[in-house]
């Protein structure tokens, strides 16, 4: 429901929009105004994602009416919700850059202190509460592996899937190998991060439980997410699981090294989606302080090639954790909180002086 200042009534916005859409021209100004109010309530989402949110909750198909009627000149956009150091966000950024897709990046902090991906506006977009999420035209893609394939299918540009079926099969197999190594357990299960990771996960569970209480319409999505985080906590605290995963990563890298003795790229002579995923996988192993390239000559040569591609820098692939890169982003996001804090403290000081 949206309060419309023009009619001074609370109206189910989309019901109105749809009825207008069916029976004649829409009063653009009025509904644009309503939409802006709704957008303000939803938080920092893209207009398109707000429309999808509205559609999700009210009338199916209504966002199309809004898109064409309320904002007829608005171009469909491609927006990537991501977090700079996030592993799966890097996969999404790299495929978009390699494909030459113009997209608007929007940071959604997937952890402390903001936990933006657990906010209702984001959970409506991606009920898994994870980054990345890609919104293009009227499609929301909430999983990096699907983003990989969809970007290659949907956009013009050099194909990142080989036309040759055998090579395509090789590509799919190597993507599968990478996704079978759960990145979050490799990171949070490592002795270096285990303690801190447990604290972050406990905070995640607290925030999710609070959001679940406050947003009964999303209770199921929050319950599923809490269960997911509890699974994650159990896996990350299982030291032998972390050791066996680490060994599996080592064996897979050995196999990839042997495979690359006969190929320039993973699926043959041309760069493919498998190279996207493994570039980020190897970079992440370097970031964790491992030495994936030592004594793997072919892998090292391949990595040198993929690292030298302009996409590596443009997509901001992390080989080191550089928290200071996040400072300007966090400062911008926390500005409102900071201004509120200063205003509250100033009010307290003024009151104290008056009373004193």
| Contact (Cβ atoms closer than 8 angstroms) between residue 106 and residue 44 | yes
**Nearer Cβ to ligand GSH, position 149 or 184?**
184
**Nearer Cβ to ligand GSH, position 74 or 320?**
320
**Nearer Cβ to ligand GSH, position 63 or 119?**
119
| Contact (Cβ atoms closer than 8 angstroms) between residue 121 and residue 130 | no
CB 243 to ligand GSH: min, Å: 22
| Residues in touch with ligand GSH (CB under 6 A) | 86-88, 110, 117, 129-132, 143-145, 184, 204
For residue 215, the SS3 value is: coil
Q: Which residues sit opposite 139 in a β-bridge?
A: 136
CB 118 to ligand GSH: min, Å: 7
CB 117 to ligand GSH: min, Å: 6
**Nearer Cβ to ligand GSH, position 144 or 272?**
144
Q: Which residue is nearest to ligand GSH (CB)?
A: 130
**Nearer Cβ to ligand GSH, position 17 or 110?**
110
**Nearer Cβ to ligand GSH, position 87 or 103?**
87
DSSP secondary-structure letter at 323? G
CB 2 to ligand GSH: min, Å: 30
Distance from C-alpha of 49 to C-alpha of 55, rounded to nearest angstrom? 10
CB 202 to ligand GSH: min, Å: 13
**Nearer Cβ to ligand GSH, position 78 or 144?**
144
Q: In what order do the strands lie in the sheet with 104-107?
A: 104-107, 78-82, 133-136, 139-141
Q: Which residue has the tokens 């041309």?
A: 270
CB 203 to ligand GSH: min, Å: 11
CB 114 to ligand GSH: min, Å: 12
Phi, psi of 147 (to 5 degrees): -60, -45
For residue 137, is it left (φ>0), alpha (ψ between -120 and 50) or beta?
left
Report H helices in the chain. Answer: 13-23, 28-42, 47-57, 62-65, 87-99, 120-125, 144-154, 165-179, 183-188, 194-214, 219-236, 239-259, 273-287, 297-308, 310-314, 327-355
């Amino acid at each position: 429901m949206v309060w419309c200042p023009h009619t001074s009534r609370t109206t189910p916005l989309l019901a109105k929009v749809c009825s207008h859409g069916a029976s004649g021209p829409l009063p653009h100004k009025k509904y644009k105004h309503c939409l802006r109010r709704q957008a303000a309530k939803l938080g920092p989402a893209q207009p398109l994602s707000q429309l999808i949110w509205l559609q999700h909750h009210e009338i199916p198909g209504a966002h199309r009416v809004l898109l064409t009627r309320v904002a007829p000149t608005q171009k469909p956009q491609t927006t990537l919700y991501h977090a700079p150091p996030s592993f799966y966000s890097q996969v999404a950024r790299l495929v978009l850059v390699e494909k030459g897709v113009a997209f608007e990046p929007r940071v959604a902090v997937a952890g402390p202190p903001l936990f933006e991906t657990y906010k209702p506006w984001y959970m409506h977009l991606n009920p898994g509460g994870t980054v990345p999420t890609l919104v293009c035209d009227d499609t929301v893609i909430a999983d990096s592996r699907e983003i990989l394939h969809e970007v290659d299918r949907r956009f013009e540009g050099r194909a990142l899937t080989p036309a040759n079926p055998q090579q395509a099969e090789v590509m799919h197999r190597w993507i599968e190998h990478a996704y079978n190594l759960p990145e979050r357990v490799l990171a949070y299960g490592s002795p270096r991060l285990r303690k801190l990771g447990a604290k972050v996960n406990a905070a995640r569970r607290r925030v999710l439980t609070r959001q679940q209480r406050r947003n009964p319409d999303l209770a199921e999505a929050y319950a599923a997410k809490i269960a997911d985080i509890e699974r994650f906590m159990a896996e990350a605290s299982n030291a032998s699981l972390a050791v066996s995963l680490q060994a599996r990563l080592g064996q897979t890298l050995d196999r990839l090294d042997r495979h690359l003795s006969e190929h320039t790229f993973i699926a043959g002579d041309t760069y493919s989606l498998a190279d996207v995923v493994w570039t980020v996988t190897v970079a992440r192993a370097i970031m964790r302080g491992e030495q994936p390239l030592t004594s793997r000559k072919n892998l090292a040569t391949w990595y040198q090639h993929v690292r030298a591609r302009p996409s590596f820098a443009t997509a901001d692939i992390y080989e080191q954790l550089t928290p200071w890169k996040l400072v300007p982003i966090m400062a911008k996001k926390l500005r409102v909180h900071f201004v509120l804090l200063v205003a509250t403290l100033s009010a307290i000081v003024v009151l104290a002086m008056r009373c004193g």
